[in-house]
Amino acid sequence: MSGKLYVIGLGPGNAAQVTPEARTAIAEASVFFGYGPYVERLELRPDQTRHISDNREELARARAALEMAEAGRTVAVVSGGDAGVFAMAAAICEAIDYGPDTWRNLDIAIVPGLTAMLAVAARVGAPLGHDFCAISLSNNLKPWEVIEARLKAAAAAGFVIALYNPISRARPWQLGSALDLLRTILPAETPLIFGRAVGRPDERCAVVSLAEADADLADMATCIIIGSPETKLIERPGRTPLVYSPRSSRKDAT
């Protein structure tokens, strides 16, 4: 008899940002799979076990979890943020797509979570208040040329852009290249938000202009939000500025 597979988003890292639905799923599962830093957030009972793997082993992790669910266990695969945003829900679906037919009959529940761009946006106002997109700068699964083409198209179309996976030890140059590309399309005064580990004790959040933006402001724990030409910054004496993207033009709003 087959078991059940939960795919759970744990939020950005603050325990208060884990949803009640996620907490219920965590309590029901007996076996947990995930990247180490995410699994280690969990306070598991003695009867719950964990299987930790490298962040680049998503498909292998997905297959192992599906096999255990097929064997009758209640399994959880955990991701930071939302499991469907550059995370394990897509890997689970891909494994099922190319896996044995029996996996298609499994009871699978994908549990949403608060993703990094929403946590970063909430810290500074409403930069995602109008049309936006999310792009990962990691070229582990797609060529850099594809990433450049998407950045150009999104910026030229006026989208606010949330950048995930902006930089790593293996990819130290890509964020700088992306910023240089965006400077050829967007105004120099376009606001950028560098949100690192938002919600955790080591949180760091900075609002800078595109002209001032430096790749050294980011690491792999950073989510960057790049405003559109319409994104505005409201200065507040003695307080952090508010950044927002108007839902309509001033002419339409009056």
Q: Indicate whether 6 pLDDT > 90.
A: yes
Residue 213 belongs to domain spanning: 117-249
pTM metric for this prediction: 0.91
Residue 227: inside a domain: yes
Q: Indicate whether 249 pLDDT > 80.
A: no
Residue 254: inside a domain: no
Q: Indicate whether 89 pLDDT > 70.
A: yes
Q: What is the pLDDT confidence band of residue 250, given thresholds at 50, 70 and 90?
A: low
Residue 63: inside a domain: yes
Q: Please tell me the predicted confidence (pLDDT) of residue 169.
A: 82
Co-location of 132 and 63 in the same domain:
no
- Look up the CATH number of the domain holding residue 69: 3.40.1010.10
Q: Indicate whether 51 pLDDT > 60.
A: yes
* Domain end marker among 52, 86, 114: 114
Tokens of 157: 């179309």
Q: Please tell me the predicted confidence (pLDDT) of residue 253.
A: 47
Q: Indicate whether 254 pLDDT > 60.
A: no
Co-location of 91 and 183 in the same domain:
no
Q: Please tell me the predicted confidence (pLDDT) of residue 40.
A: 93
Q: Indicate whether 76 pLDDT > 80.
A: yes
